[in-house]
Amino acid sequence: MVPRPANQEALTFPAEPLLVVDGLDVTFAADPRSVPAVRDVSFRLDRGRCLALVGESGSGKSVTARTLVGLTGGRSTVTARRLAFAGEDLTAFTEPRWRTLRGRRIGLVLQDALVSLDPLRTVGAEIAETLRTHRVVPRAGLEARTLSLLTEVGVPEPEQRARQYPHQLSGGLRQRALIASAIAAGPDLVLADEPTTALDVTVQAQVLDLLRRRKQDGAALLLISHDLAVVGGLADDIAVMYAGRIVEEGPAAQVLGDPRHPYTRALLDAVPVTHAKGARLAPAAVRHPAPTPSGCPYAGRCPRSDLRCRDQLPERVVIPTRPDVAAAEPGVADGRPTVGTGHAALCWYPTVDAPAVLDAVDDRPASGAGPGVGRPVTAAALLEVDGISKRFRSPDGTSRAAVRDVSLRLHPGETLGIVGESGSGKTTVARIVLGLLEPDGGTVRFAGRPWGGSGVREPDRRGRRRHIQAIYQDPLGSFDPRYRVERIIGEAAATAGVTRAGRGARVAELLEQVGLSADLMGRRPLELSGGQRQRVAIARALAPGPDLIVCDEPVSALDVSVQAQILDLLAGLQSELGVALLFISHDLGVIHHVSDRIVVMKDGAVVETGEVAQVFAHPAAGYTRELLAAVPRPVGGRTAPPDRGASTRVVVTTPPAP
């Protein structure tokens, strides 16, 4: 692939792809000191192709997507050398012109359909709105077309669903309805912003499948995700974004199989499915001085950064194609890269030999503890759950079994993973174990004494409650928003008998244990980032000195880099303190990474249980096999670098950053 200087782009007009983005900058006026949200982003995308934008939270993915429909939002300034869709210059568009494009020729699917669909309108009305706005079908045909769209995206019983409201549908159905509303007018370009985040793996696979079909039907697809594994199976090209810039780009197989930018490598390492328990996910925290504004944006976190990195923005380096990787992926056989320059990275040192720090941490146990930590201990079980069941009454009077005859054993210091799709009863089991809900039948014993089930009275339990603590998906919901961190953790410490005088010191100690600075003591929950909040939740759970922590989807709301840090933290704390974990997640990768043994649940019942390696390698139940098959994996994975350091570097001159 011969790279072309950007200013000749306009001359190649007849061959111009459907979407051309060249040198896109977006700045928000809200904070004049802040760096631009999107900087010098360039890519191209053609019909029937899929480009994935990948990067952590705040890297500018959504802003890029919204800019493509003229809805950047806020008080924003958008500039670009070229921003063209189907040959038309988008920078010159007025609001009425944009309206003819939106929905009709470019469809936008936002993350989290619960808030992206109007909660006060029926799903059918939302889908019909696109059709009506662009007069795609005559008024009389609206309903029939809406139903056929719902059928097309795989929503069963479309007549009934069309009359329902978003909150009445499951996450997967909602997301499909949202997609149906975005593709209703048959747009040439579909922008899907995190379409599968928050969905469990089976549903996620179905939604990706749905998008794949759009692509096969000839639509161009811009897929946005923070998870490289998710995009692997669908994207032809991948562009990795960091701090508003594309730091690595290229054909999917090349980027995934031969990642060169340290950030891409960190993202791939953060995918838990490729690692067994004990391996660290996040690179050891690298604390470098922050880069100068003109330096590499990643320098503050990069294990390789040196003086040059901090002072000078790296040049875009073209990476020669590795034939073994390219051959492994038929998706790029037609050799039409759409990002523009083939495989390239924005880094001074894009060599394959992994930087020393990364290599060293890669398969090191999460803390200094010796081998065998976290293995099941053959002592008496800490938690014994025997044949519990629970039914819930629906408003219409019928009752539904949420948990059916579930039995579990958990030993001190062990991690038991519970996995299953949404609605399989995981959280109900957790609430029974926590003693927040009484089972209809069966018994729970904790530390050898009755804990839940008939005959257990609350006064018996109250004194022992501090030995079982919980961490939830959304810590905000369990914090009093008015309290400061010091009080939130301090009150939990008090239940372990810490005196008022000793509390400050204990809170500081706990904060340090979870990797937070004591400066945060004075903050309120809303003033913390998602990762910090979850660390505070962990500190609070640790404060009473528990023997068991029930973790209900503790990392599901976090982006993958933060998720990796939290998983590492939990693993480290477990080996340090010997606390047992009951770890619930819909994410098999996460479960695989943290668990010693796992329990697979479906429709309230246990379908399989066993050692984690055993279950993953030889799933016995059909359902487990189905779940495993749906797990997205980075295509090709990380292969061992063949020719260390021998890569030829081709430096391409790019226009100077503004």
Partner 1 sequence: MTALGLVRAVGIRLAAAVAVLFGAATVAFAALQLVPGNPVAVLLGPATTAPPAVREQIRVDFGFNRPVVTQYLIYLGHLARGDLGQSYQLQRPVSSLIGSQLGSTAQLALAAIGLAVVIAVMSAVATAGRPRLTAIASTWELVAVSTPSFWLGIVLLTFFSFRWRIFPVAGSQSFSSLVLPALTLALPIAGVLAQVLREGLEAALDQPFVVTARARGLSRTAVRLRHALRHAAVSLVTLAGWLTGTLLGGAVLVEVVFARPGIGALTLQAVSNKDMPVVIGVVLLSAGVFVVLSTLVDLAYLAIDPRLRKG
Residue carrying structure tokens 């009863």: 425
Q: Look at residue 510 and give the partner it binds from ligand SF4, partner 1, ligand ATP, none, a contact being a CB closer than 5 to 8 Å depending on partner kind.
A: none
Token representation of residue 515: 């990797």
Instruction: Find the binder of ligand ATP among 5, 7, 71, 73 (CB under 6 A).
Output: 73
Q: Which one, 138 or 293, has the nearer CB to partner 1?
A: 138
If one asks whether residue 58 binds ligand ATP (CB under 6 A), the answer comes out as: yes
Comparison of 282 and 402: residue with beta carbon closer to ligand SF4: 282
- Binding-site member from 43, 85, 348, 623 for ligand SF4 (CB under 6 A): 348
The verdict on 198 binding partner 1 (CB under 8 A) reads no
Strands 220-225 and 189-193: parallel
Site string for partner 1, 238-277 (x = CB under 8 A): ----------------------------------------
Q: Does 100 bind partner 1 (CB under 8 A)?
A: yes
Pairing assessment for the beta strands 383-393 and 399-410 based on DSSP bridges: antiparallel
Q: Does 30 bind ligand ATP (CB under 6 A)?
A: yes
Adjacent-strand bridge partners of 51: 222, 237
CB-wise, 298 or 623, nearer to ligand SF4?
A: 298
Cα 541 to Cα 543: distance, rounded to the nearest angstrom = 6
| 225 part of the interface to Mg ion, by CB under 5 A | no
User: Does residue 54 interact with ligand ATP by CB under 6 A?
Assistant: no
Task: Determine the angle formed by the axes of helices 171-183 and 123-133, rounding to 10 degrees.
Answer: 10
Give me the residue label for tokens 């990643």: 298
Region of 26-34, 101-109, 365-373, 414-422 interacting with partner 1 (CB under 8 A): 101-109
Whole-angstrom distance, CA of residue 70 vs CA of residue 62: 12
Find the shortest distance in angstroms from Cβ 198 to Mg ion.
Answer: 12
Candidates 61-69, 253-261, 264-272, 300-308 — which segment interacts with ligand ATP by CB under 6 A?
Answer: 61-69
Asked if 472 and 554 count as a contact pair (C-beta separation under 8 A), the reply is yes
If binding is defined by CB under 6 A, does position 63 make contact with ligand ATP? yes
Per DSSP, the residues of 255-314 read: HHHS--SHHHHHHHHT-GGGS-TTS-SSPPPP--PPPPTTS-TTTTT-TT--HHHHHSPP
CA atoms within 13 A on the CB side of 40: 16
Tokens 């808030």 — which residue?
115
Classified as helix, coil or strand, 107 is: strand
Look at the block and give the residue holding tokens 């509303």: 181
Q: Coil, helix or strand for 598?
A: strand
Sorted by sequence, the CB contacts under 8 Å of residue 50 that are 6+ apart come out as: 211, 215, 220, 221, 222, 223, 234, 235, 236, 237
> Is residue 92 a contact point for partner 1 (CB under 8 A)?
no
Q: Does 304 bind ligand SF4 (CB under 6 A)?
A: yes
8 Å CB contact between 587 and 407: no
Separation CA 124–CA 132 (nearest Å)? 12
Q: Applying CB under 8 A, which of residues 323, 330, 370, 397 lies at the interface with partner 1?
A: 397
Q: Which of 24, 37, 281, 429 binds ligand ATP (CB under 6 A)?
A: 37
When the beta carbons of 133 and 614 are compared against partner 1, the nearer one is 133
Tell me how far, at minimum, the Cβ of 287 lies from ligand SF4, in Å: 13
Q: What residues line the site for ligand SF4 (CB under 6 A)?
A: 261-262, 296, 298-299, 302, 304-305, 309, 314, 347-349
Q: What residues line the site for ligand ATP (CB under 6 A)?
A: 28, 30, 37, 55, 57-63, 73-74, 226, 559
Q: What residues line the site for partner 1 (CB under 8 A)?
A: 66, 69, 71, 73, 95, 99-104, 106-108, 110, 112, 115-121, 129-130, 133-134, 165, 167, 178, 181-182, 395-397
